[in-house]
């Protein structure tokens, strides 16, 4: 798990390349790397401010909506659309590949920026860090589970049979809160109060 200092260091070491864009989105959304690396344009619904993952693209085989915070909306909106290509990232037949090579280059930049490398970390640690970070900001556990598309805990067992709520508004508010926290972290300022209705 990465704390605020480590997340800030990673963000400062990112460039304007494709891998850096993916890492930014992973930090801000808490998604699995394959969900963003394999993102398709028809899953991006900018007009309603979300990413709609179909069941075949999620670990639990349930469709999942990811509300777009202000920063993620801006990042995706600025991405170029390449003629005839269904994937947002990557080249060739599939989505983004080259995770290990690009992660190694990022670690090199972090080492130079930080004068020493971070403790060993993985791309999946970004997801764990988003979970912990949102919890520390006061987001309720069942809302974090909804953000992650988890069916355990609050929505597991018999509770999940009766509770069919998708918590779409609460998910958007949680991700907006996390977005503002990350922005404040990078800019070295106090976090602002986030409005209850984030940009759609």
The helix (H) or strand (E) run that includes residue 151 is: none
For 47, 84, 135, the CA distances from 140, given in Å and listed in that order, are: 28, 42, 7
156: DSSP letter? S
Residues 48/89, Cβ–Cβ less than 8 Å: no
The span from the CA of 186 to the CA of 8, in Å, is 6
User: Structural domains in the chain?
Assistant: 4-187 (1.10.443.10)
Contact 11, 129 (CB under 8 A): no
Residue 41 reports pLDDT greater than 90: yes
Q: What value does the mean pLDDT take over residues 186-194?
A: 74
Q: What residues contact residue 68 under an 8 Å CB cut-off, 6+ apart?
A: 46, 49, 50, 51, 76, 175, 199
- Mean pLDDT over 140-159 rounds to 74
| Mean per-residue pLDDT over the chain, rounded | 89
Q: What is the largest CA-CA distance in the chain?
A: 53
Q: Binning pLDDT at 50, 70 and 90, where does residue 197 land?
A: very low
pLDDT(93) > 90:
no
Residue 96 pLDDT exceeds 60: yes
Please say whether the beta carbons of 68 and 51 come within 8 A.
yes
Tokens of 52: 């709609």
């Amino acid at each position: 798990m990465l704390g605020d200092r480590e997340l800030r260091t990673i963000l400062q070491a990112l460039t304007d390349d494709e891998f850096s864009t993916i890492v930014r989105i992973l930090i801000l959304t808490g998604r699995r790397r394959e969900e963003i690396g394999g993102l398709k344009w028809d899953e991006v619904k900018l007009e309603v401010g979300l990413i709609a993952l179909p069941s075949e693209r999620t670990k639990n085989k349930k469709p999942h909506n990811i509300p777009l915070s202000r920063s993620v909306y801006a990042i995706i909106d600025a991405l170029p659309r390449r003629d005839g290509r269904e994937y947002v990232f990557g080249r060739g037949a599939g989505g983004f590949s080259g995770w290990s090579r690009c992660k190694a280059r990022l670690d090199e930049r972090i080492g130079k920026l930080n004068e020493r490398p971070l403790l060993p970390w993985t791309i999946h640690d970004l997801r764990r860090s988003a979970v912990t970070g949102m919890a520390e900001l006061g987001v309720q556990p069942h809302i974090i589970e909804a953000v992650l598309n988890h069916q355990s805990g609050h929505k597991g067992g018999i509770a999940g049979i009766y509770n069919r709520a998708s918590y779409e508004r609460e998910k958007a508010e949680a991700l907006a809160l996390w977005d503002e926290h990350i922005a404040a972290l990078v800019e070295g300022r106090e976090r602002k109060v986030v409005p209850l209705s984030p940009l759609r």
